[in-house]
Chain A
Amino acid sequence: MTTQSAAQPSTQSSPGVEVALQNLVRTYGSVQALAGFDLTIEPGEMVALLGPSGCGKTTALRILAGLERADEGQVVVGGKVLTDVPANKRDMGMVFQAYSLFPHMTVLENVAFGLKLRGVGTKQRAARGMEVLALVGLDAQHNRYAHQLSGGQQQRVALARALAIEPSVLLLDEPLSALDAKVRTQLREEIRRVQVEVGRTTVFVTHDQEEALAIADRVGVMSNGRLEQIAAPQELYERPRTRFVAEFVGLTNRLPAEVDGDSATVLGSRMPVLEGSVTGRQGLALVRPEALGIARNADGNGFAITSSFLGSLSRISCRLDTGEEVVVQSSSGEAAGLAPGDRVQVTPRAVPVLVVAAD
């Protein structure tokens, strides 16, 4: 899922800057969008803010962009406090969720708009505009207007426009959410390629976990205006620190567990427990589908309900004799021949698991 081969931030030669959001608080009436939000981003790093609607991720991004004001807290970029600096003086490029190209301008005029405001000469503007359009593969369309482009092309132009001004920070506010699935996948890879190429510090807001895990150096999961956990995609998936993170990122089965020291007994098997788990008592283990093994067994502990073939993998829903429903992800070879109604033995593998207090 993740493109980590290209995902290492090139911090040594990176033109990116460090970004720090410190204790941000923002309230709209009785709703607290941000409740002491802290985030530090390394120069050249791409951080995705992930969370459900209303968790405050877009508010945090807009405060960083200067489009919203925080009630409390500070925005520090490259060592400078920007909290009271207006959006047009922050030197940040932003791509929005909604199509934001200026309809009365051509693609090239759109891309050169920020340069024009900075007093760059006509020839240099055109040259730089064509350069960034080439970066997103749209230099041939430079004379077109927004309404002559597809949604994906419009967002690529918006990305080029944001990059043309060589911003200190690149902000992406759910730029793919208006696009269809195929274009989304292509464009997210393209965004990552361009980001690595230009080395800008980037904040990418999304509610799509696959998107976040696929392209970010680190993913910050937000809930109720706070950062629940920020970590590299694999760590976030494999070692969630809170119940919210475990349940929000990826599929999770809840199974009764008895914690004893640094391991827990789940379905009769021992699993090491992760930091943040409950200690010395019963709880619920949040177990990934791939952390469970399955085999046909007449004396097993449950039976298969459905089986979905996903290519090299298969996903099998089972009902355990204890009443729980679990989803098991296993290789299609291992799951071959399993049919709904078959008796199966579901066995946890010895991978670290988060155990939380029972509901």
Chain B
Amino acid sequence: MRQTVLGRTVRGIVLVLFGLFFFFPLYAMLDFSTRDFQGGRTGEAWSQLLQDPTLTSAIIASLVLALLTVVGMLVLLVPTMVWVRLRVPKAKRLVEFLCLLPLTIPALVIVVGMRNVYSWVGYLVGDSIYTLAFVYVVLVLPFAYRAIDNSLSTIDVVTLSEAARSLGAGWGTVITRVVVPNIGPGLLSAAFVSVALVLGEYTIASLTNYENLQVVIALLGKSEARTSVAASLATLMFAMVLLLLLSYVGRGRSVREGKSQ
């Protein structure tokens, strides 16, 4: 009993310390972004987020990039992973290795390596910030692969697919009507992580001279420090909300599974 109370106290203290550690910088950012240098508080920096055309277009560009990345990642990864599980299970390790590879390669190296590829991308689809979606799809692969793979492991993909096939379903129907509805939480996790990663990406956009949200925030930091910090805080909070949603989705699933047992 005494140990339980002691344990709870220690856990509480640790939680508070970690809370302070994580939230103090956010508080400092909020404080700085709302500080009026003549004294008092002002929401000017936050209102600038929607009024500054450069920042607004960067926000839109990053959100569109996030959307394109999520769509590209899902279209590329889901059929591939399902196909590997169904038809070529021996290739699972190879696909996993390829998907995890971007984790081990520094962004700078990726940019240098992709310069030649991107000259072709620019030639074929035009010079647009949205072409970054191609490289972002590669960047999010390690995180998305894990999330989807975990979800696929919770169902018997082979048997469900064969059952659907024997009932008359083609491969497209098997994936869209049988597999995807059963790996929803994994797909959501993969999508949330991808969005968070794209919204926070700076290095590649900067080195390829595109102005996404993080690049504009960095530029703003040199002239409009408070607006820059407000934009950073907004992005962080957005990513945090996404991650909270992700953990909620995960918890919802485990609660449902718990009930079913």
Contacts and interface: CB of A to CB of B under 8 A. Distances in A.
Contacts of B165: 66-67, 86-88
Contacts of A162: 166-167
Considering residues A86, A94, A104, A118, which has the most beta carbons from chain B within 10 angstroms of its beta carbon? A104
Considering residues B155, B159, B166, B260, which has the most beta carbons from chain A within 10 angstroms of its beta carbon? B166
20 contacts: A66-B165, A66-B166, A67-B166, A87-B162, A88-B165, A88-B166, A88-B168, A88-B169, A92-B166, A94-B163, A94-B166, A96-B162, A96-B163, A100-B159, A102-B182, A103-B182, A114-B168, A117-B169, A161-B163, A165-B167
A86 B174 CA distance: 14
Contacts of A147: 260-261
B156 A104 contact: no
Interface in B32-78: none
Lowest 9 CB-CB distances: which A-B pairs, in order?
A147-B260, A114-B167, A100-B163, A94-B166, A87-B165, A117-B168, A104-B181, A98-B159, A100-B159
A145 B256 CA distance: 12
A65 interface: yes
Nearest to B167: A114
Nearest to A103: B182
Given A96-B159, A147-B260, A148-B260, A102 B166 contact: no
Considering residues B162, B167, B168, B260, which has the most beta carbons from chain A within 10 angstroms of its beta carbon? B167
Interface in A68-118: 86-94, 96, 98-104, 113-114, 117-118
A161 B156 contact: no
Contacts of A93: 166-167
B203 interface: no
Considering residues B155, B159, B164, B168, which has the most beta carbons from chain A within 10 angstroms of its beta carbon? B168
Interface residues of B, number: 19
Nearest to B162: A67
A123 to B, nearest CB: 20
Contact of A102 (B160, B162, B261): B160
B9 interface: no
Nearest to B166: A94
B84 interface: no
Contact of B168 (A103, A165, A171): A165
Contacts of A67: 162, 165-166
B89 interface: no
Given A94-B166, A117-B173, A148-B260, A100 B156 contact: yes
Considering residues A86, A94, A101, A102, which has the most beta carbons from chain B within 10 angstroms of its beta carbon? A102
Contact of B170 (A88, A100, A165): A88
Contacts of B121: none
Given A66-B166, A98-B156, A117-B167, 4 more contacts: A93-B166, A93-B167, A102-B178, A114-B167
Interface in B138-167: 155-156, 159-160, 162-167
Contacts of A102: 160, 163-164, 178, 181-182
A101 B155 CA distance: 11
Interface in A53-75: 65-67
Contacts of B159: 96, 98-100
Contacts of A114: 167-168
A269 B156 CA distance: 57
A66 B170 CA distance: 13
Contacts of B167: 88, 93, 113-114, 117, 161-162, 165
Contacts of B182: 102-104
B162 A103 contact: no
A103 B155 contact: yes
Contacts of B178: 102
B167 to A, nearest CB: 4
Contacts of B169: 88, 113, 117
Contacts of A96: 159, 162-163
A148 to B, nearest CB: 7
A163 to B, nearest CB: 11
Interface string A158-176: 1001100100000100000
Nearest to A65: B166
A277 B113 CA distance: 75
Contacts of B155: 103
Contacts of B168: 88-89, 91, 114, 117-118, 165
B249 to A, nearest CB: 15
A350 to B, nearest CB: 49
A202 to B, nearest CB: 14
Considering residues A88, A92, A147, A161, which has the most beta carbons from chain B within 10 angstroms of its beta carbon? A88
A94 B162 contact: yes
